Amino acid sequence: MRVLGVDPGLTRLGIAVVDGGLGRAVRAVAVDVIRTPADDELATRLLKVADGVEAWLDRHRPDVVAIERVFSQHNVRTAMGTAQAAGVVALAAARRDLPVMFHTPSEVKAAVTGSGRADKAQVTTMVTRLLRLTEAPKPADAADALALAICHLWRAPVRNRMAEAEARAAELAKAHRARLAEAAKSGGRRPAGGAAATPNSRAAGSRAVGS
């Protein structure tokens, strides 16, 4: 699977493509930073971000786009610009029917360093190590984009297994309710299925599939 990772921003937007296959092996395909001048109009800056990202989508044809989710920042104006850059990236992906996933900074840090509170230097060190790069990616936005793509490759299977487990549990619960209804109709006898027909059946199903 090929992931385009984006650390959004108007002044500097980190962008990276990482391939991941079986197991934990990841390979960096490309990494760079898209910059827009601070004295340009907002609309012009967003257009430059959009054009830059579309060029990457054309060149690298990723299967999925992973974007860092930004909740808040010290500076409200900066946070808005960052959110808008992220929105423009998500729009470009949606126009090509590519799935878009958001990961929080702490999810990204935890994925590559083991700690959600790791600092930038630690993230850069681990990204360099995991991707077996000969030198550390710079600036931090570029390293973050790589970390984000790795995070997506490693978290997506976990998320998918959880979603599958939830769907399976929901099915089991539905079948169980149907059996109960059937039993009620046929005279209030204890439904077939014994132990499965307990209030814990959903959780039990979830555990069985999710483990």
**Interface with a copy of itself (CB under 8 A):** 41-44, 46-47, 50, 70-72, 76-77, 79-80, 83-88, 90-91, 93-95, 100, 102
Instruction: Count CB-CB contacts under 10 A for residue 106.
Output: 12
Shortest distance, position 57 Cβ to a copy of itself, whole Å: 13
Known catalytic membership, residue 68:
yes
Instruction: State the Cα–Cα distance between residues 68 and 101, nearest whole angstrom.
Output: 9
Asked if residue 92 lies in contact with residue 50, where contact means CB atoms within 8 angstroms, the answer is yes
To the question of whether residue 97 is assigned a binding role by annotation, the answer is no
Tokens of 66: 């992973």
Q: Of the two residues 105 and 137, which places its CB atom closer to a copy of itself in the complex?
A: 105
Q: Of the two residues 66 and 127, which places its CB atom closer to a copy of itself in the complex?
A: 66
Q: Of the two residues 78 and 122, which places its CB atom closer to a copy of itself in the complex?
A: 78
Shortest distance, position 83 Cβ to a copy of itself, whole Å: 4
Shortest distance, position 67 Cβ to a copy of itself, whole Å: 9
To the question of whether residue 68 is assigned a binding role by annotation, the answer is yes
Q: Looking at 19, 54, 141, 144, which residue is catalytic?
A: 141
18-55 in b/e burial notation, b at 16+ Cβ within 10 A? bbbeeeeebebbebbbbbbeeeeeeeebbebbbebbbe
Q: Of the two residues 8 and 191, which places its CB atom closer to a copy of itself in the complex?
A: 8
Q: Looking at 32, 51, 58, 68, which residue is catalytic?
A: 68
Q: Give catalytic residues, as residue numbers.
A: 7, 68, 141
Q: Which residues are annotated as a binding site for Mg(2+)?
A: 7, 68, 141
